[in-house]
Structure 1
Amino acid sequence: MKIALMDSGTGLLAAAAAVRRLRPDADLVLSSDPDGMPWGPRSADDIVERALATARAAVAHGPDALIVACNTASVNALPALRAELEPAVPVIGTVPAIKPAAAAGGPVAIWATPATTGSPYQRGLIDEFAADVDVAAVPCPGLADAVEAADSAAVEKAVAAAAALTPRDVRAIVLGCTHYELVAELIRTAVRPTGLPPLVLHGSAGAVAAQALRRIGADPAPELAPTGGLTVLHSGRPAELPPAALAYPEGRLLRTVAPAR
């Protein structure tokens, strides 16, 4: 079994780690685009072009499925990716977990990049799934870039700024950028000090990992030996996990002694 994941940068680590936990025997292909990141400020056409190139590099390694582990790419390029790759390779997109967060009751905050926060896409998800709960849209300028660089001081500053914009009474936060899942506990602590009711964080990594397995007819088997190999591609070039990725538990989990196949 081989699962590919794509993103502009290290935002794919959370979903890749989720796949590894569900199927330690699965080979993983991590395809990112350091030459073109960040994708967020680019035009929609440019994002589609970069996403297609990143996906093609991954698909050249023969995966059974491709996870688009990036909100920006999912918003802008998912139709183009599916049109080119399916049905040969199932393509699984990433959608902010607004629906389950709202189903549990509000108030809910959605942390996302500034571009996503003001997008018709996010507004449409709120209107569709969270019309009956209080929702605070919280822009997080600089947070994804700080996470990408594993710059702890910059991460703490960006998290603190977003926490200051988050209503104190929120019951849950939707992590609307895959990078944010790598610093989830820091976000939880910044928003909800000790002594207050627990704050629920809704990411997408677990859901997309499970969906990828369903699409290829595979069952979770976390008890299996960790024999899965790892292939890393940077803008199509063979590479290794960058040092910044190893700053996070998810990145360290992906290190493997098995040869990539």
Structure 2
Amino acid sequence: MKIALMDSGIGLLAATAAVRRLRPDADLVLSLDPDGMPWGPRTSEDLTRRALAVAEAAAARRPDALIIGCNTATVHALPALRARLEPGIPVIGTVPAIKPAAAGGGPVAIWATPATTGSPYQRGLIADFADGVHVTEVPCWGLAEAVEHADEAAIAAAVAAAAALTPRDVTTVVLGCTHYELVAERIRAAVQQPGAAPLVLHGSAGAVAAQALRRLGEPPAPEAPAEGTLTVLLSGREGALPAAALHYAEGRLLPAAGPLADRR
């Protein structure tokens, strides 16, 4: 089994690690776009063009499924990617975990990029899945960029700024950008109030990985041999994981799981 994941940068690491934990025997193809990142400031049409190019580079490696490891790319490019690749390659998007977060009753904070915060897309998810729950949308200025470059000082500053905008009574935080899952515990520490019940964080990586296996009709097999290979594509060129990826536990998990390149 071969599963591809795509993003402009290392935000896909959380979903990649989740797939690796569920199926350590799966071959993985990571298709990144260092030549075109960041995708967030691009127009929808331009982002879709970049996403299609990155997806087609992954598709050339003949994966059984493709995960879009990016909320922004899912919003803008999912229909085009499915039209181009399905039914031959199932395409799984990444949606903020607002529905399971709201099921807890709230209050809920949604940490997201400034472009996503207040967007019709996110407001629609809130209306559909969090009706009656108090939800605060929190723009996280510079956090995704800081995580992408493993800039510890910038991460600390961005997390502190977003925490200051988060109401003290929230019980649940939705991590509405895949990059944020790489610093989830730092977010928890910044938002958790002394004496309050443990803060609940909701990311998307686990659900996306499980959905990919369901689309393939494959069961989880965490006990399988860790024989899965790893191929990294950088704007279509075979390469290595960006150095910043190894700053995070999710990135360090990957080289340990198998060869760094699949040249079969």
TM-score normalised by L of structure 2? 0.97
Runs of 5+ unmatched residues, structure 1: none
Q: What's the counterpart of residue 5 of structure 2?
A: 5
Q: What's the counterpart of residue 88 of structure 1?
A: 88
Greater Cα shift, 121-130 or 185-194: 185-194
Q: What is the alpha-carbon distance in structure 2 between the residues aligned to residue 213 and residue 37 of structure 1?
A: 28
Deviation of 1:40 after TM superposition, in Å, equals 0.6
Q: What is the alpha-carbon distance in structure 2 between the residues aligned to residue 172 and residue 225 of structure 1?
A: 36
Q: What is the alpha-carbon distance in structure 1 between the residues aligned to residue 157 and residue 197 of structure 2?
A: 24
Q: What's the counterpart of residue 188 of structure 1?
A: 188
Q: What's the counterpart of residue 28 of structure 1?
A: 28
Deviation of 1:104 after TM superposition, in Å, equals 1.0
Q: What's the counterpart of residue 134 of structure 1?
A: 134
Query: Cα RMSD over matched residues?
Result: 0.9
SS in 2 for 1:231: strand
Q: Is the alpha carbon distance of 1:183 and 1:83 closer, same or farther for their aligned partners in structure 2, counting shifts above 3 Å?
A: same
Q: What's the counterpart of residue 229 of structure 2?
A: 229
SS in 2 for 1:117: coil
SS in 2 for 1:150: coil
Q: What's the counterpart of residue 158 of structure 1?
A: 158
Q: What's the counterpart of residue 147 of structure 1?
A: 147
Deviation of 1:197 after TM superposition, in Å, equals 1.2
SS in 2 for 1:190: helix
The within-5 A match list for 1:1-261 is 1-255=1-255, 256-258=257-259, 260=262, 261=264
Deviation of 1:193 after TM superposition, in Å, equals 4.1
Contact (CA 8 Å) 2:92, 2:212: kept in 1 or not? Answer: yes
Contact (CA 8 Å) 2:230, 2:258: kept in 1 or not? Answer: no
SS in 2 for 1:114: coil
Which amino acid counterpart does residue 75 of structure 2 have in structure 1? V
Deviation of 1:194 after TM superposition, in Å, equals 4.7
Q: What is the alpha-carbon distance in structure 1 between the residues aligned to residue 186 and residue 198 of structure 2?
A: 14
Greater Cα shift, 115-124 or 191-200: 191-200
Q: What is the alpha-carbon distance in structure 2 between the residues aligned to residue 29 and residue 196 of structure 1?
A: 42
Q: What is the alpha-carbon distance in structure 1 between the residues aligned to residue 165 and residue 141 of structure 2?
A: 12
Deviation of 1:257 after TM superposition, in Å, equals 3.7
Identical-pair percentage: 74
The aligned length equals 261
Q: What is the alpha-carbon distance in structure 2 between the residues aligned to residue 209 and residue 159 of structure 1?
A: 26
Q: What is the alpha-carbon distance in structure 2 between the residues aligned to residue 87 and residue 243 of structure 1?
A: 35
Post-superposition Cα deviations, 1:27-51, rounded to whole Å, max 9, x if no partner, equal 0000010111111110000010000
Deviation of 1:118 after TM superposition, in Å, equals 2.2
